[in-house]
């Protein structure tokens, strides 16, 4: 009995030794006041926590040691922490958001039709145009404002609170902290940035759960997440992916991946990378900066890449959390 207990204790100690718990405090950058109920999470996952009344938090980062940590709060720009460690207390400062809300609110009262038009553009470009996106609902559209100033060529959207989105098609509730949205009417291009947290919409209907799982699997196949997961494994070809340069010359894993001794992997190539999935969907990676970190769960540093082609059409409505497990 004592021997069994001793083994259990050793096992528990081993588990605790492998856990990496970080602790921190979140403060207003201007006033140095603590910020309660700020969200602390890994972007694109369902893993996170909140600060307490004292602005303090604890989080197990064992599964995401290389991914940046995001801290968001209502009324503040999100902060990204790329070097988090359990050896020291993290002190995070958030910058308050400043919008020209006064002008926007006054003009919105007489521009209801224009707001509906702008909202349709926002949802089309932000959520996407796929079946997944069509089924998405933004539950707090009233928290979205648009610019109605002299800049008629650019539509800008602002969100005073995180957007709450229900994706019934894929069975997720999404919390999105929008930092930027700009739609350029002259060439119909757009740019948006922010951070996202997933939670699963509960369901007790087994048929519905199976249907949602199939939809998630279909969404996953040929996605950016699928590509980076298979690239990490050096298994592109057997899963339907091929890569080449802009001239169509085939590329290999060694041509585009840099491996470091700490087991980190980076995407890097002098030129754009063409991606084909079963010779049907064609996409391009255009580098903004290099190298680009990517992980075995499909995470990649989005600030280093511009997507073109098929994968460029994948928007918020087509996203899966990085902790998504494919169907066996």
The beta strand positions in the chain, using DSSP E, are 21-28, 39-42, 48-50, 56-60, 69-72, 79-81, 90-94, 136-138, 144-146, 154-159, 163-167, 172-184, 189-200, 241-244, 257-259, 265-267, 273-277, 281-287, 292-294, 305-309
User: Which tokens is 151 given?
Assistant: 């800049």
More confident residue, 150 or 313: 313
Distances (CA, A) of 238 to 32, 227, 275, 288, 298: 53, 12, 14, 29, 17
273-289 core/surface letters (b: 16 or more CB in 10 A; e: else): bbbbbeeebebbbebee
Return d(Cα 203, Cα 76) in angstroms, integer. 33
pLDDT given at position 11: 33
pTM comes to 0.83
Inform me whether the pLDDT recorded for 188 exceeds 90.
no
More confident residue, 177 or 189: 177
Q: Are 227 and 243 in contact (CB under 8 A)?
A: no
Count other Cβ atoms within 10 Å, centred on residue 67.
21
Tens digits of residue pLDDT in 27-46: 999 999 999 999 999 999 99
For 76-95, what is the mean pLDDT?
Answer: 85
Res. 132 pLDDT band, cuts 50 70 90: very high
Q: How far does the chain reach from its first CA to its final CA, in angstroms?
A: 39
Domain limits, the chain: 2-94, 101-200, 218-318
Could you give the 3-state DSSP secondary structure of residue 3?
helix
Nearest to 125 by CA among 305, 307, 316: 316
Inform me whether the pLDDT recorded for 13 exceeds 50.
no
More confident residue, 15 or 116: 116
Which segment of 144-153, 212-221, 240-249 scores lowest on mean pLDDT?
A: 144-153
Tens digits of residue pLDDT in 269-312: 999 999 999 977 899 999 999 999 999 999 999 989 999 999 99
Inform me whether the pLDDT recorded for 15 exceeds 70.
no
pLDDT given at position 6: 34
For 158-183, what is the mean pLDDT?
Answer: 93
pLDDT given at position 260: 86
pLDDT given at position 67: 87
User: Which tokens is 301 given?
Assistant: 């540093």
Report percent pLDDT > 90 for the chain.
62
Which segment of 13-22, 90-99, 263-272 scores lowest on mean pLDDT?
A: 13-22
Question: Check: CATH 2.30.40.10 for 2-94?
Answer: no
């Amino acid at each position: 009995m004592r021997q069994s207990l001793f083994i259990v204790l050793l096992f528990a100690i081993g588990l605790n030794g492998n856990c990496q718990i970080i602790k921190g405090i979140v403060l207003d950058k201007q006033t140095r006041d603590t910020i309660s109920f700020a969200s602390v999470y890994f972007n694109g996952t369902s893993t996170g926590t909140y600060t307490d009344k004292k602005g303090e938090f604890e989080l197990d980062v064992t599964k995401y040691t290389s991914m940046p940590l995001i801290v968001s709060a209502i009324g503040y720009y999100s902060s990204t922490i790329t070097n988090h460690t359990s050896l020291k207390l993290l002190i995070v400062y958030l910058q308050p958001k400043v919008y020209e809300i006064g002008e926007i609110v006054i003009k919105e009262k007489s521009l209801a039709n224009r707001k509906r038009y702008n909202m349709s553009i926002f949802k089309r470009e932000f959520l996407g145009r796929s079946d997944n996106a069509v089924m998405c609902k933004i539950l707090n559209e009233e928290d979205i404002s648009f610019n109605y100033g002299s800049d008629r060529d650019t539509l800008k959207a602002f969100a005073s609170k995180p957007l709450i989105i229900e994706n019934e098609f894929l069975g997720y509730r999404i919390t999105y902290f929008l930092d930027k949205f700009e739609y350029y009417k002259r060439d119909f291009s757009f740019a948006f940035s922010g951070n996202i947290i997933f939670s699963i919409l509960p369901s007790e209907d087994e048929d519905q759960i199976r249907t949602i799982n199939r939809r998630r699997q279909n969404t996953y196949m040929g996605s950016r997440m699928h590509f980076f997961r298979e690239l990490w494994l050096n298994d592109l070809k057997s899963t339907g992916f091929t890569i080449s340069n802009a001239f169509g010359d085939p590329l290999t894993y060694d041509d585009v991946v840099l491996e470091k001794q700490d087991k980190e992997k980076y995407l890097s190539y002098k030129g754009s990378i063409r991606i084909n999935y079963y010779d049907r969907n064609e996409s391009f990676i255009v580098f903004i900066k290099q190298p680009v970190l990517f992980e075995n769960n499909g995470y990649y540093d989005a600030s280093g890449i511009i997507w073109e082609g098929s994968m460029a059409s994948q928007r918020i409505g087509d996203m899966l959390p990085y902790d998504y497990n494919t169907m066996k």
